[in-house]
Amino acid sequence: MANVPVQRMSKLMAKTLRDDPADAEVLSHKLLVRAGYVRRTAAGIWSWLPLGLKVLANVERVVREEMDAIGAQEVLLPALLPREPYEATGRWEEYGAELFRLQDRKGTDYLLGPTHEEIFTLLVKDQCSSYKDLPVILYQIQNKYRDEARPRAGVLRGREFLMKDSYSFDTEDEGLAESYGLHRQAYQRIFERLGLDYRIVAATAGAMGGSKSEEFLAPAEAGEDTFADCPNCDFAANTEAISYELAPVDGSAVPAAEEIPTPDTPTIETLAASLGVPASATLKNLLVKVDGEIVAVGVPGDREVDLGKVEEHFAPATVEMVTESDFAARADLVRGYVGPQGLEKVTYIADPRVAPGTAWITGANKDGMHAKNVVAGRDFEVDEYVDVVVVLEGDPCPKCGTGLKLDRAIEIGHIFQLGRKYADALKLDVLGRQGKPVRVTMGSYGIGVTRAVAALAEQTADEKGLCWSAEVAPADVHVVAAGKALQTELALEVSDKLAAAGLRVLVDDRAGVSPGVKFTDAELIGVPKILVAGRRSGEGVVELKDRRTGEREELTVDEAIARLTA
């Protein structure tokens, strides 16, 4: 086993902090900065210091080993990319403000890559001409760029982040399904090796496009994704991907619609209170503009519209709320009293809960007036049904009907069956078995390497600091010299022996630093094993502590080395 140089804290480019950074919002942000793993360079841009870089490299190593194990081939493509391929697929515009765009001195447009579907497609188009060249899986581990409006949570949501992105190329859909399955299994092995608690959930494709899509989510309070989990069956999905079947009801017995005076009731709350009915009996109609055209979104009055779902549905069009000037320009749209019946020149979409035959109390499109017994499909038509409500705890499982459980999570991986979206746009064909051109089908698969580090910190840290698994830790053992010359001498001697045995060793040999500070730093830094040369150093006895469990035992130097190298 190779001799790994001992990392001495007296020379380490890392300063620990006693207090949390003033701008830190989440645990991983606080601890990675305090433990000397990262430092902020600018909003959403981070520098990785030696300890942090070791953890990042270990995550990379695990990802690389498992990708290689499924036959994927590693390449490295540029991060600075030309505009034309992204314009051909429509993503130059679809990405909107999140895409970093720039020009060279000649005025030529470029971008900093958020993902590389287009460039990998062109690479395969250049290199593969026959079905005999496929299937192929290519991957890279590279910095990506996204112009986040509000970078936050430390390295969890940055403008520059390290990502593994891989792409599969097959001539048949069955081959795509197989490549997708290989990635799914590889991801499970990766996250299990990293020690992450994770869930696989159904997801939306977003700007990536394609058909089937699944996310790998790490449950954590700091997560920005919300997922639903059914306690009774195997259903699990990002709340943005949950959909329900349309279930029409018989509304033939509902009396004719009738307008009723409801002065000073422009909100669902005031309307329900005035009429003495539950909010669920009312129909809420939210007006938005889609590329400048007004669209009404209908949901039950006790539910909120998920604007993210609305934006997803209309993407790449721009969705924004209507303004006072919009109402002023349309006399038929009465703020607080809008109803779907009689609306003209307004597209009406509704949640499946507003099914044909359901009856509602809704606006009468007159100031101070509402209408009751307004039946969907009889008194108004829905142009399109779209799942647009915010999913709530207890909503029925779409599969079995049991109340759903909701949890927050960090997205650490995402896999897509892209199909032929990019191959069609960039004309990726190979010569098929029958001697005719065949359009290639693709998959896209991402892992957030930077995010995985933050997710591990979120899930495994305790009140004392970070607590890494052996697979990703910056060292195998953290040796602490408790202060005196004899103890420092023993600590260095033991460190050299452990390094000679192939272990990665971090030794705290700092002079003039109290034992208490060293012990606190050892807990904060989070190496799995802590070896202390303390009061019994003169007897050749050290203390071995497990960082996670806190278990301690006194051993001779030889016993400690044997235990750690076993």
- Residue (of 523, 535, 532) closest to 557 by Cα position: 532
Q: What is the pLDDT of residues 377-393, one digit of tens each?
A: 999 999 999 999 999 99
Q: What is the pLDDT of residues 213-231, one digit of tens each?
A: 999 999 999 998 999 999 9
* Mean per-residue pLDDT, 288-301: 94
State mean pLDDT over 132-143: 97
pLDDT value for 100: 96
Following DSSP, what letter does each residue of 175-242 receive, concatenated? HHHHHHHHHHHHHHHHHHHHT---EEEE---GGG--S-EEEEEEE-TT-SEEEEE-SSSS-EEEGGG-
Instruction: Indicate the Cα dihedral angle 259, 264, 266, 272, nearest 10°.
Output: -70
Contacts of 79 (CB under 8 A, 6+ apart): 112, 113, 142, 143, 144, 145
* Sequence-separated contacts (24+) of 484-488 with Cβ below 8 Å: 484/537, 486/537, 486/538, 487/533, 487/534, 487/537, 488/533
Q: Could you write out the three-class secondary structure of 37-84? A: CEEEEECCEEEECHHHHHHHHHHHHHHHHHHHHCCCEECCCCCEEEHH
Rounded CA-CA distance 47/53 in Å is 9
308/386 Cα distance (integer angstroms): 12
pLDDT score for 480: 96
Mean pLDDT calculated for residue range 406-423: 95
Closest to 190 in 3D by CA, of 102, 59, 290: 59
d(CA 542, CA 557): 6
Q: What is the mean pLDDT of the chain?
A: 93
Cβ atoms 352, 247 nearer than 8 A? yes
Read off the pLDDT band of 408 (50, 70, 90): very high
User: Band of the pLDDT at 124, cuts 50, 70, 90?
Assistant: very high
Q: pLDDT at residue 166 above 50?
A: yes
1 vs 503, higher pLDDT: 503
Q: Are 491 and 485 within 8 A, CB to CB?
A: no
Q: What is residue 1's predicted lDDT score, i.e. its pLDDT?
A: 45
Instruction: Give the mean pLDDT of 48-69.
Output: 98
Rounded to whole angstroms, what are the CA distances from 120 to 74, 109, 165, 169?
12, 19, 10, 10
CB 475, CB 542: distance < 8 Å: no
- Report the pLDDT value the prediction gives residue 307, as an integer from 0 to 100: 92
pLDDT of residue 500: 93
Q: For residue 255, what are the CA distances in angstroms to 271, 299, 355, 378, 416?
A: 21, 22, 17, 11, 48
Q: Tokens 């001799």 identify what position?
A: 3
CB atoms within 10 A of CB 386: 18
Written as six digits, the tokens of 264 are: 């000073």
pLDDT band at 486 (very low <50, low <70, confident <90, very high): confident
Q: Is the per-residue pLDDT at 153 higher than 90?
A: no
So what's the pLDDT on residue 566? 85
User: Quick one: which of 414, 402, 386 has its CA closest to 229?
Assistant: 402
CA distance linking residue 470 with residue 460, whole number of Å: 12
C-beta of residue 252 within 8 angstroms of C-beta of residue 236:
no
Contact 294, 326 (CB under 8 A): yes
Confidence of residue 96 (pLDDT cuts 50, 70, 90): confident
For the cut 90, the answer to whether the pLDDT of residue 312 exceeds it is: no
The Cα 185–Cα 178 span in angstroms is: 11
Provide the pairing of β-strand 236-238 with 225-229: antiparallel
pLDDT band at residue 207 under the 50/70/90 scheme = low
pLDDT tier for residue 2 given thresholds of 50, 70 and 90:
low
| Region of poorest pLDDT, from 164-168, 194-198, 330-334 | 330-334
So what's the pLDDT on residue 485?
Answer: 84
Q: Which residues contact 133 (CB under 8 A, 6 or more apart)?
A: 127, 430
- What secondary structure, in 3-state letters, does 260-281 show? EECCCCCCHHHHHHHHCCCHHH
Q: Can you tell me whether residue 325 is helix, strand or coil?
A: helix
Above 70 in pLDDT, residue 329? Answer: yes
Say what percent of the chain tops pLDDT 90.
85
